[in-house]
Amino acid sequence: MMSDVVEMARLMQGNEAVVEGALAAGVRFYAGYPITPSTEIAELMAERLPALGGKFIQMEDEIASMAAVIGASLAGVKALTATSGPGFSLKQENIGFAAMAEIPCVIVNVQRWGPSTGIPTAPAQGDVMQARWGTHGDHPVIVLCPASVREAYLLAIRAVNLSEKYRVPVILLMDEVIGHMRERVVLPRAKEVEVIERKKPSVEPKDYYPYRPGDDGVPPMASFGEGYRYHVTGLVHDEKGNPTTDPQVAESLLLRLHRKIYDHLDDVVSVEGYQLEDAEVTVVAYGAAARSAKRAVKEARAAGIKAGLLRPVTIWPFPEKEVAELAGRVRHIIVAEMNLGQLKGEVERAVRGRVGVSGVNRVNGELITFEEILSAIREVALDAQSG
């Protein structure tokens, strides 16, 4: 199922692009609670979904919103919710349930300044680690991070597709800048949009094991109401879905939940490189910060400094292989982010001391500037010359 997207230039907001992308991917259910700076997603879903035969419901809080999304997905409908700040915190328990019970769903988090209520209208990138580890226990998750309005549209589609393909919660990690800025975009025609549907059982209901995986590690998923009766639980469960405390079953289940993602990193992980061919100093940045980083790299090049940019599009699983390969070619890596260094630690872990890693951070509720990043690039270049 696809929306009536036509190939034409239009002025579009980031949050609006998410809605259009989700609808193009087949999302037909939204449950949420309005919260700045994600509210436009709920507003537009309330307008667009009924016209497409979908359902919109404003729940009493973020906990119920996530639960409703899980229920809709179990019934066979592609489902999405959006939130920010404390709302993302409230969703964590049910995100863990979705990961454990392998229920496809997409959560859009338009990051704002925190912790707590913080500054609701100010941008930040402080939820990077929460997106990975927000719910308790070892759990699989995929996190995508757009850096433009058009990419917000494309990654909304990709988030839905990955969620359906791997039966896993996928988080679209935006920030207030990307969510609220407007850009001229040209969207693909509907026939050009790849839409992935979840794998369905090919056996009779009596022979169905809801958690028996295929060769790809992902079990076929029957929708409630189709005659396939099975048990869904957040407890450790066997292939029939029945709770168990068997140590071997528990370990096998948890390892499979991770392997179905990590055995397919070539499909899941995506990065974008800019001027990396001969770069001696490289900036790693994502989301809105990557826009400033790209400008800084251009300015550095104009000044004769061999700078480059590596932009993780997939934040989690972290693109460890790509960063490790980068460490074998450059002299120094600068991680620019609107937090106190959450992804910098992952970069340091990936390079294993082979190159220096430093950070450019901003946590005052304003967008990190290209001048800050350029200054760091120049400092590294000057140190290299003097050394």
Question: Tens of pLDDT along the chain (387 residues)?
Answer: 444 444 578 999 999 999 999 999 999 999 999 999 999 999 999 999 999 999 999 999 999 999 999 999 999 999 999 999 999 999 999 999 999 999 999 999 999 999 999 999 999 999 999 999 999 999 999 999 999 999 999 999 999 999 999 999 999 999 999 999 999 999 999 889 999 999 999 999 999 999 999 999 999 999 999 999 999 999 999 999 999 999 999 999 999 999 999 999 999 999 999 999 999 999 999 999 999 999 999 999 999 999 999 999 999 999 999 999 999 999 999 999 999 999 999 999 999 999 999 999 999 999 999 999 999 999 999 887 776
What is the spatial distance between Cα 81 and Cα 144, in angstroms, rounded to a whole number? 15
What is the spatial distance between Cα 293 and Cα 337, in angstroms, rounded to a whole number? 10
Segments of the chain assigned to CATH 3.40.50.920:
271-386
DSSP per position, 273-287: EES-TT-SEEEEE-H
Can you tell me whether residue 299 is helix, strand or coil?
helix
> What pLDDT does residue 8 have?
73
The residue assigned the tokens 């029957």 is 222
DSSP state of 94: H
Segments of the chain assigned to CATH 3.40.50.970:
9-192
| Domain 9-192 bears CATH identifier 3.40.630.10 | no
Edge-to-edge order in the sheet of strand 55-58: 55-58, 29-32, 79-83, 105-111, 169-175, 142-144, 314-316
CA pseudo-torsion sign 372, 378, 379, 380 = positive
Structural tokens at position 6: 């036509």
Q: Which residues pair with 243 in a beta bridge?
A: 237
CB-count exposure of residue 123 (10 Å: 0-12, 13-18, 19+): buried
CB atoms within 10 A of CB 151: 22
What is the spatial distance between Cα 93 and Cα 338, in angstroms, rounded to a whole number? 26
Q: Are strands 79-83 and 29-32 parallel, antiparallel or unpaired?
A: parallel
> What pLDDT does residue 26 have?
98
Rg for the chain, CA atoms, rounded: 21
> 271-386 — its CATH code?
3.40.50.920
> What pLDDT does residue 190 have?
87
CB atoms within 10 A of CB 191: 7
Name the region of 225 (left: φ>0; alpha: ψ -120 to 50; beta: rest): left
> What pLDDT does residue 5 have?
42
Distances, alpha carbon 251 to alpha carbons 24, 138, 141, 244, 257, in Å: 38, 11, 18, 12, 10
CA pseudo-torsion sign 242, 247, 253, 257 = positive
128 φ, ψ (degrees, to nearest 5): -60, -50
The residue assigned the tokens 């026939």 is 191
> What pLDDT does residue 7 have?
57
DSSP state of 119: B
The residue assigned the tokens 């409230």 is 90
